[in-house]
Amino acid sequence: MSESKDFLRTIVEEDLKSGKYKEVITRFPPEPNGFPHIGHAKSICINFGIASDYKGHCNLRMDDTNPTKEDTKYVEALKDAVQWLGFDWGENVHFTSNYFPKIYSYAIELIKMGKAYVDSIDEEEMREYRGTVTTAGKRSKYADRTIEENLDLFEKMKNGKFKDGEHVLRAKIDMSAANMKMRDPLLYRIRHAHHFRTADEWNIYPMYDFAHCLSDYIESVSHSICTLEFENNRDIYNWVLDTLGLELPRPFQHEFARLGINYTVMSKRKLLELVDGGQVSGWDDPRMPTIAGYKRRGYTKESILNFCDQIGIAKANSMVDVAQLEFCIRDDLNKKVPRVLCVLDPLKVTIENYEGTEEIDSPYYPHDVPKEGSRKVPFSKNIYIERDDFMENPEKGYFRLTPTQPVRLRHGFIITCKEVIKDTEGNITEIKAEYHPNSKSGSDTSGIKVKSAIQWVSEKEAKKVEVRIYDRLYASEAPEGLEDLNTNSLQVIKNALIEPAVITDKPDERFQFERQGYFYADPIDYTDEKPVFNKIVGLKDSWAKKTKIEEPIQKTEPKKTQVIGTEVAMSEEQKALFEKYTSELKLNNEVANILARDEKLSSFYEETLLELNSPIGLANIVVTEVARELKEKEDSELKFTASQIAQLVKMIDEKIISSKIAKQVFEEMLKSGENPTKIVEDKGLIQISDPSVISPIIDEIIAKNPDNVEKFKSGNTKLLGFFVGQVLKATSGKANPQVINKLVAEKLK
């Protein structure tokens, strides 16, 4: 158990102490409509973790009330995930569908009590009648049906006498309840669909709000733990159980904050889109945030459990840095796995003064890993090193092999470059080198100073392997959809070379390829004839500020959970705004969330909208620049008006200025209170979009950076950003980034 108790465990302990329950029973209740993701891992850890801490029990329950989306393959994936994480659900898996008959009879009971009725208005009317957050709803005329009529209609619904949508069963609660969810919620709907377990037995299916609390009750659950978005459903949960007179030890619902991770989507629906659209190879694609994906990529269960433990359980929604998950796996493997030599992009090196072969005894584990084991690494005249580890015209601070700088072959000798061989196009094809016989690692008497040791393999003995390098699936921090995908998330290297012991000895399934990262023998595609390795994670956070490779591996822990919203849940008004911002104005969730929760900010935003119809552009400026000002000042103290902000955004929309320049203009507005159009004119900040002006600037930058051009052309497309950045810098941010992008891409083709 973690040292400090979270609020859920505190509640559980109190309930045990007061004798409210004799035994703690929890449940993990996924809907089998997709593979579980890392958010589910958090829920699994909480539910199974609490049960085991207090010697209770946790049920695995498939919440299968929606026949059209569910499938046995998802049930299997859910079982796999729970098992892999090391939890035990006991004898059998439970299914809500097993309780359909019981749930049905509870519905009959409610009808008999006059607490539920069959409604027959259409969807549109139903929406209208529901009212709004500020006005009460009104009840449908069908609410007056007699109990007999209701019983008769409900039975006919069950027996398939009506079409989908013709009738629904509703609870009779309160059409003017402040909690909109309590305005006569639906309990049952008609669905003529084939269910993967009950086949065609049922024509009606219970809604979540009715089925969930009753399933919990039927299973004698004590603590029904769910995520915050169900906070408003808690009233229905209690209403159903109380109205039916189901007494203690009946379950109560408790909510915690759902896990969100940056650069990651966490919704089965969105993940299914990727699978169906072929953007990934399947639910277990190693780039997917599914448990199956992490497992296939090579994550250990310990790293996932440790991550869930670190992020803790909170009552406020938060966004966790994906670097924290990557830290957890790196940290776990660092202490466990053998370190071996693999060359991803081989460059031939011929050691002219060496004849014959020898084997160099090399430990698998560094001295601070409590494991023993070593292998023989063959050495010979013909070896390969990493292409990156040689530079003919080294940049400052380059510590590896150059025409004048010797380097150590890891575990082996020091070599010096004698000659660089190139093909007719000027590409380096081979290095001729000399080794220093008395420089062997461990018994070096050569006195030669080197600044680094590099990986290498002997040509004859090395094994060819395929290496799959994964990067984050999304390039944007708060991804919304396909447009945010990282187009470089998978790179397949077909002809990497690895030292032979990895394949013949098989000391482990996971390895550190020295200086490259952690890798895992792909559990599906790996064969002895064609070994395949997945990159699990790099040795350090490559997305953090780029640092030189030669620096010692940094083992700093990434910053902990950043709390984005401090409020527990939105009020009804805030929810209505959020809804409007996301569905009508198409703002992304993050931005809509910030606006909806901050009244000063949203009213300022609304004011700008009256001036300019550019909801997204306006929102971006408002949640960043304006928000910063409004934090410290009142609306009336601002140096700028909503209309000036609209002018500013209009200039961005019309491509007169770039959004980068807009920030500069905004700073100026704060100082002078001047109109943005005037600032732009006075300071000559108009965006440059003319290719004939931008083009020569790009040419100059290309000429100055031949090495980066080389790297870009050999596949390091991330360097596009470098070139664009340089052009922006050269034009003080005035060049139009889209034009630069296009021109750079053309010129470097």
> Footprint of ligand ATP on this chain (CB under 6 A)?
29-31, 39-40, 42-43, 63, 226-227, 258-259, 266-268
Q: How far is the CB of 52 from ligand ATP (least distance, A)?
A: 17
Nearer to ligand ATP, 268 or 287 (CB): 268
Answer yes or no: 268 catalytic.
yes
What is the three-state SS of 190-246? ECCCCECCCECCCCEEECHHHHHHHHHHHCCCCEEEEEHHHHHHHHHHHHHHHHCCC
CB 710 within 8 A of CB 664: no
Query: Which CB sits closer to ligand ATP, 266 or 730?
Result: 266
Judged by beta carbon, residue 28 or residue 354, the one nearer ligand ATP is: 28
What the block records as the tokens of 461 is: 């003995």
Which of 268, 408, 472, 597 does the annotation list as catalytic? 268
**CB 380, CB 331: distance < 8 Å:** no
Encoded amino acid at 597, one letter: R
Nearer to ligand ATP, 115 or 258 (CB): 258
Query: Is-catalytic flag, 468?
Result: no
346 forms bridges with which residues in the sheet?
386
> Half-sphere exposure of 340 toward its Cβ, with a 13 Å CA cutoff?
33
Q: Between 38 and 680, name the residue whose CB sits nearer to ligand ATP.
A: 38
* Cβ atoms 363, 497 nearer than 8 A: no
Decide whether 301 or 678 has the Cβ nearer to ligand ATP.
301
Q: Is 555 a catalytic residue?
A: no
Report which residue's Cβ sits closest to ligand ATP.
39
CA triple 25-79-77, angle to 5 deg: 140
**Contact (Cβ atoms closer than 8 angstroms) between residue 730 and residue 684:** no
Q: How far is the CB of 211 from ligand ATP (least distance, A)?
A: 12
Closest approach of ligand ATP to the CB of residue 225, in Å: 7
Strands (E), 124-203: 168-171, 186-190
Cβ contact 15:222 at 8 Å? yes
| 103/291 with CB nearer ligand ATP | 291
The tokens describing 630, both together, are: 């409004």
By the 8 A CB rule, do 316 and 396 touch?
Answer: no
Q: Residue 705 CB, nearest distance to ligand ATP (Å)?
A: 43
CB of 106 to ligand ATP, least distance (A): 21
Nearer to ligand ATP (CB atom), residue 32 or residue 500: 32
Nearer to ligand ATP, 226 or 333 (CB): 226
Are the beta carbons of 356 and 482 closer than 8 angstroms?
Answer: no
Whether the CB-CB separation of 222 and 25 falls below 8 Å is answered with: yes
| Least Cβ distance, residue 62 to ligand ATP (angstroms) | 9
d(CA 24, CA 184): 32
Let me know: does 87 contact 206? Beta carbons within 8 Å.
Answer: no
Min dist. Cβ of residue 489 to ligand ATP (A): 20
Residues sharing a CB contact under 8 Å with residue 670, sequence separation 6 or more, in sequence order = 629, 639, 640
For residue 360, how many other CB atoms are within 10 A of its CB? 19
State the minimum distance, in angstroms, from the CB of residue 23 to ligand ATP: 20
Burial class for 403, CB neighbours closer than 10 Å (0-12, 13-18, 19+): middle
Residue 253 CA to residue 220 CA, distance in Å, equals 13
> Which of 13, 31, 166, 430 is an active site residue?
31
CA atoms in the 13 A half-sphere facing the CB of 722 = 16
> Of residues 138, 191, 258, 663, which has the active-site annotation?
258
In the complex, the smallest distance separating the C-beta of residue 589 from ligand ATP, rounded to whole angstroms, is 13
Catalytic site residues? 31, 258, 268
